[in-house]
Amino acid sequence: MTDSFWKTGAPSPRRQDLLWPSLTQALRQLGIVAVMAVVWGVLLLGYLGLTGGQPAEVMGGDSESTLAVVSPTDTPVVALPSPTPSPTPIPPTPTLVATAEPTIQETSVPGAEPSPRPTHTPVPSPTPTPSPVLPTPTQTPAPVPEALETPQVSFAADVLPVFQRRCRNCHGGEKTEEGLVLSAYPDVMTGSWNGPVIKPGNAEESYLVEMVASGKMPKKGPRLLPSEIQAIRDWIDAGALDN
Amino acid sequence: MEFINRLINALVDVHPLHSMTVHFPIALTGTALLFLVLALWRRNEALEQAAFYLITLSAVSTIVAGLTGYRDYMIRFEGDAPLVNVKIFLGVTLFGLTTVIALTRWRRSEILWRPSTMILYLSAFAGSFGLATVLGFLGGVILYGF
């Protein structure tokens, strides 16, 4: 009755009654598999339609489109079989918060000073209090937008460490690919053999941003994290200072 | 001590947890399929049982991979990573499929040996391995581009 395992010689139960499926049985099962695959495919497409994900676009996607495919609102409710479907609101990236004034609702602690940078969903409510005439110090919007427009980004603290961690092997140190050195501020601003790769005040038109946002750089290895790319963007938009 | 601290720091803060845990579902579904094919070839019940254990473990490890994936998505990528929709759908399917396989095999241990269910059972294993590899590829697209 029993066979033995190869080499070990341990007894192994070998079935003597194995029956292969007949043609009808095989066709029936393959049919079930095919139907289930189609149903699943339709569900997948419907789900992508509902959530706005477009795989084709994502796959060939460049720069922005790749990163912006999944907006926070797209987070599906049925995310995981965990009991808590995404309770964490995703903080918006602090790029265009100039219109938002720090209001009372925002700071959950009454009486606390409004922070210079709103952390969560800035509500641009026009009248937080019934009497806006009162010269409350928190209601003066004049100096606020300026402080908000340019998030405090430091080259030495936020940008250079990213370059040193992720770019140094090829741009700086031993190799300087394309003549580009990213190990100190003057070199970064000098750019490559083809000219500057950073346009102070204009991240969108800076070649370096294009390269990291599209994932072309770092040439090998994982992309930069969105927060790292954002730091580089903010730093350039703030004038690409040596700070 | 210093080394242990660095090790813990590397594991918890520096290295993405999802990239570590995803290898379990991929490897377990793949090995489960292999053992099932071997079982059929050798007509061996022990190998068939091994495939059942492996697919059960892969269902469990898929939960871990999914949770760490969601954590990395929220924390490392700050809710902004490409292809997440598709990956969540495929991940939930993978978990559902492996769970259904494991439960069905648990209730009906003869499922591979019956001519009327043999192909269905094999296809389910192949499907879960396929799902796991596609998920792995999409993860690679997130990290390295396409």
Phi-psi region of A131 (alpha: psi -120 to 50; beta: other; left: phi over 0): beta
User: Which of B85, B90, B141 is the best mutation test for A, with the most CBs of A within 10 A?
Assistant: B85
Residue A135 vs residue A182, higher pLDDT: A182
Q: How many domains does chain A have?
A: 1
pLDDT band at residue B99 using 50, 70 and 90 as cut-offs:
very high
pLDDT at A68: 36
**Sign of dihedral through CA atoms A208, A211, A212, A217?**
negative
Q: Report B:2-31 residues touching A (Cβ under 8 A).
A: none
**Which range of residues forms the domain containing residue B33?**
2-144
pLDDT band at residue B52 using 50, 70 and 90 as cut-offs:
very high
- What gap in Å lies between CA B58 and CA A130, rounded to an integer? 60
A221 belongs to a structural domain: yes
| A121, pLDDT greater than 50 | no
pLDDT at A52: 67
Collect all residues of chain A within an 8 Å Cβ-Cβ radius of residue B142. 223
CB atoms A30 and B119 under 8 Å: yes
Residue A193 vs residue A150, higher pLDDT: A193
Task: Kindly provide the ipTM of the predicted complex, given to two decimals.
Answer: 0.87
CB atoms B144 and A223 under 8 Å: yes
| A243, pLDDT greater than 60 | yes
A102 belongs to a structural domain: no
pLDDT at A145: 42
| B7, pLDDT greater than 80 | yes
User: What are the residue ranges of helices labelled H in chain A?
Assistant: 23-51, 55-60, 63-68, 144-149, 160-166, 185-190, 207-213, 226-237
In three-state secondary structure terms, A172 is strand
| Chain A residue with Cα closest to B110 | A18
| A95, pLDDT greater than 70 | no
| B57, pLDDT greater than 70 | yes
How large is the average pLDDT for residues A220-235? 87
pLDDT at A78: 39
pLDDT at B122: 97
pLDDT at A92: 43
**Minimal Cβ distance to B115: which of A21, A59, A76:** A21
A125 belongs to a structural domain: no
Mean of all residue pLDDT scores within chain A: 69
pLDDT band at residue A2 using 50, 70 and 90 as cut-offs:
low
| A93, pLDDT greater than 60 | no
| A104, pLDDT greater than 60 | no
pLDDT band at residue A185 using 50, 70 and 90 as cut-offs:
very high
* DSSP conformational letter for A69: S
Residue B38 vs residue A129, higher pLDDT: B38
pLDDT at B124: 97
Query: What proportion of chain A, given as a percentage, has pLDDT over 90?
Result: 32
pLDDT band at residue A3 using 50, 70 and 90 as cut-offs:
low
CB atoms A90 and B84 under 8 Å: no
Q: What is the pLDDT of residues A32-67, one digit of tens each?
A: 999 999 999 999 999 988 876 544 444 433 333 333
Q: Please give the radius of gyration of chain A, using alpha carbons only, rounded to the nearest integer.
A: 29
A1 belongs to a structural domain: no
Q: How many domains does chain B have?
A: 1
**Which range of residues forms the domain containing residue A177?**
154-243
A231 belongs to a structural domain: yes
Whether residue A218 has a cis bond before it, omega within 30° of 0: yes
A136 belongs to a structural domain: no
How large is the average pLDDT for residues B13-25? 89
> How many residues in chain A?
243
CB atoms A44 and B89 under 8 Å: yes
CB atoms A70 and B81 under 8 Å: yes
**Minimal Cβ distance to B78: which of A47, A90, A223:** A90
How large is the average pLDDT for residues A217-224? 80
How large is the average pLDDT for residues A7-17? 77
CB atoms B63 and A215 under 8 Å: no
Q: What is the pLDDT of residues A147-168, one digit of tens each?
A: 445 568 899 999 998 998 888 8
Amino acid, res. A43: L
What's the pTM?
0.56
| A134, pLDDT greater than 80 | no
Among A53-57, A202-206, A224-228, the range with the most confident prediction by mean pLDDT is A202-206
Chains A & B: contacts with CB separation below 8 Å? 138
> Is residue A114 within 8 Å of residue A136, measured between CB atoms?
no
A173 belongs to a structural domain: yes
What separation, in Å, do the N-terminal and C-terminal C-alpha atoms of chain A show? 81
